[in-house]
Amino acid sequence: MSDDQQKKNARHKAAMQKQKAKVDSHIAAADTERGVAVLLTGNGKGKSSSAFGMVMRALGYGQKVGVVQFIKGAQLSGEELYIKHQCPQVTLYQMGTGFTWNTQDRTGDMAEAEKTWVEAVNMLTDASYDLVVLDELTYMLAYKYLDEQKVLDAIGQRPPEQSVVVTGRGGGSALQALMDTVSEVKDVKHAFKAGIKARKGVDF
Ligand code: ATP
Ligand code: MG
């Protein structure tokens, strides 16, 4: 090995040792064991698919999972099909077909939202659920279909060991303040804007 390579390797080792010490100290400092509340927001693609990634993680450990979808698209998504057909252990509730972006029926949508919220509350008050996903919940707050305080209270008062994942653009500052982890997915670019059709297995 050349002198130059040896020096590079030594520098790399020193940098890695420093990084490991930093990571180890953060791990040692995190001494609270409880469920976490995660908000996945922003205008980029990746919110719901990340939430379903966590569903898979939880299932890998045999955990109990509940999923409530607050906006039901016209197109069935792969994760819906997979959960329905391959994961009978996952409780899945979807807002009725009564709701679409196109119903333009505020009263009907609000009634659907309330009905769906009841299912969410059933999960958020049941300590046997390890993970609860509230997909696209933020829009119910943005449209004021659900009372914000009621939603915040239910998430905040859930069983301590239960984790919850909320997805959707926006969500408001009070929700962001309540959640333990908040990630904003940035829209750098999206294939659709270049005329590429939504892709099975990637977009739905
Ligand atoms: P995904 O379910 O793929 O993780 P998401 O939950 O972040 O996406 P949603 O707003 O729920 O985003 O929209 C879901 C659908 O819209 C997906 O088909 C996704 O590819 C598409 N989409 C998401 N963000 C954008 C965007 N910025 N421009 C165009 N299409 C988008
Ligand atoms: Mg989504």
pLDDT digits (tens, 9 = 90+) for 38-95: 999 999 999 999 999 999 999 999 999 999 999 877 778 999 999 999 999 999 999 9
Q: What is the pLDDT of residue 146?
A: 96
Count of beta carbons in the 10 Å neighbourhood of residue 89: 11
Q: What is the pLDDT of residue 97?
A: 62
* Reported pTM: 0.91
Could you tell me if the CB of 98 is within 6 A of ligand 1? no
Q: What is the pLDDT of residue 100?
A: 59
Q: Which ligand is nearest to the CA of 135?
A: 2
Mean pLDDT of each 10-residue bin along the chain, 204 residues long:
90 90 87 95 98 98 97 85 94 78 81 96 98 97 96 98 97 97 98 95 96
Could you tell me if the CB of 47 is within 6 A of ligand 1? yes
Q: Which atom of ligand 1 approaches the CA of 49 most closely? A: 4
Judge whether 144 and 171 are in contact, CB under 8 Å. no
Q: What is the pLDDT of residue 28?
A: 86
Residue whose pair of structure tokens reads 């769906």 in the numeric block: 116
Judge whether 91 and 123 are in contact, CB under 8 Å. yes
CA of 193 to the centre of ligand 2 (A): 17
Could you tell me if the CB of 184 is within 6 A of ligand 1? no
Q: Which ligand is nearest to the CA of 194?
A: 1
Q: Which ligand is nearest to the CA of 44?
A: 1
Domains, the chain, with CATH or none: 35-166 (3.40.50.300)
Q: Residue 158's closest CA among 128, 181, 183?
A: 128
Q: What is the pLDDT of residue 136?
A: 95
Q: What is the pLDDT of residue 99?
A: 56
- Positive/negative CA dihedral, 90, 156, 112, 168: negative
